[in-house]
Amino acid sequence: MPALRLNFLQKTEKQLPHVYRTATVFCPISSSLFFTPQIKYFKLILSIIMHRKEETPIENKQVLNRQTSSKELHLISCGWEKCTPEQSYGPGVRRYYTIHFVLSGQGYFYMNNRKYTLKAGQCFFIPPVTSSLYKAEPSDPWTYIWICFNGENAPILCEHCHLTEETPVQQLNSVLPYQETILEMMAHPQLTPSSEAYIQSGLYRIIAMLEEEFHASYTTMESNENFYITQAVDYIKKSPLQNITVTDVADYLHISRSHLYGLFKKHLGTTPQAFLTSAKIINARELLTITDIPVSSVAFSCGYQNPFAFFPCLQKRNRHDATGIPGKISSCRGSSGLLNHFS
C-alpha cells in the first residue's frame, strides 16, 4: 500500500468514529439525497479499514517496560511471548534478574555449560552478568511469561526461592497464578503512584508464591532443617528477649516444641532452653560492659523478672571471664550493696 494512502487511512481511522457517527445521526441513509455521496464515502473508508484490520496478524508478544522506584526490589520489565519454532535469545548477558514461566510447549535453556529441557509448568532463572541462551523447540515451541527485576534484596530473595546458578530450573505446582499476576501488572502501565503500587505488590506476590512453593517441597530435607535453625537463631537475637520462650520460638516456626528440640540437639548440640539462656546472658554481658545500667535493669531487659535469679546465672557464666564484669558484680556482693544495685 503506498505510503501516502496508508497515512491517509491511519488519520481517517482515528477520526472515523466521530465523523461516521455524525453522518449517521444527521445524514441517515434514508434522508436527503444531498448527503448520499458523503455517507457512501464514509462507508467505503470504513470497509477498507475493517478489511485491513482483518488482515493484521495477532501479536505474539507484549511487554511492559516500567522500572519502579524501590531500591530494595524493583521491576525492570515483564511480558509474555508466543515463540515461533526455534526462536532463540542469546547467548547474551543482562544486568538484572530474570525469571521465565513456561505456559505451554517446550524449549531449551543453556547456562554455565549445561543444557536444560523445559516444558509447561516449569520456570527458569537467569542471574545478572551470566551468559545464557534459550531456544524454542522446533515442533512444539513454547509460550512463556517473564519478569525482570533488581534491587538490594533481590539476591537473598532469589536464594529463598531456591533459584540460583546451581539450581536455575524449578518445577511449579501451577503457572496460572504467576500468569494472572504478571498480566495484572501489565494492565497498569501508567506513570502514577497507584500503578506503581499495583506493580510492586505484584512483584512481591510472585516472590512470595515462589517462596511458598520452595518451602512446601522441602519439608524433611537437610536444607529445610538448616533454614529452621537459622530462622530460630535470628528470631531469638532480634526479638525482645524478655518475652521469648521456647514455645514462642516453636510457634514462630510453626513447628512443635519437640521438633524444635530435636533440631537444636542435632545441629547446635544444645537445647532450645539452654540456647535462650545463653543468649540472655550474652546480651547481659554486652549491656554491663558498655553501659552503666543497673544490674536490676539489665536483668529485666534480659527476661529475668527476679534479679536474684539472674545474679547467679551471670556470676556462673563469667566466673573466669576477663571482661571486668565479675568485678562489677562482686563490687555489690554485700547484702545492702546488692539490694541497692538491684533497686
What integer is the mean pLDDT of 303-326? 56
Where would I find the H helices in the chain?
3-26, 36-55, 154-160, 176-186, 193-216, 222-238, 246-253, 257-267, 272-290, 295-301, 307-317, 325-330, 335-342
Q: Domain coordinates of the chain in residue numbers? A: 3-55, 61-216, 219-343
Give the pLDDT confidence score for residue 169 in this predicted structure: 94
Residues 252-292: pLDDT tens digits? Answer: 888 888 889 999 998 889 999 888 878 877 777 777 777 77
pLDDT at 151 over 50: yes
What integer is the mean pLDDT of 92-97? 94
**Contact, 96 vs 148, CB < 8 A?**
yes
Backbone angles phi, psi at 47, to 5 degrees: -65, -35
Query: What would be the CATH architecture of the domain defined by 61-216?
Result: Sandwich (2.60)
- With 0.85 as the threshold, say if the pTM is over it: no
Give the pLDDT confidence score for residue 179 in this predicted structure: 95
What integer is the mean pLDDT of 46-64? 55
Distances (CA, A) of 55 to 14, 41, 81, 282: 18, 22, 21, 75
pLDDT at 78 over 70: yes
Res. 245 pLDDT band, cuts 50 70 90: confident
Q: Does domain 219-343 have CATH number 3.30.390.50?
A: no
What integer is the mean pLDDT of 139-152? 96
Q: Would you give the end-to-end CA distance of the chain in angstroms?
A: 95
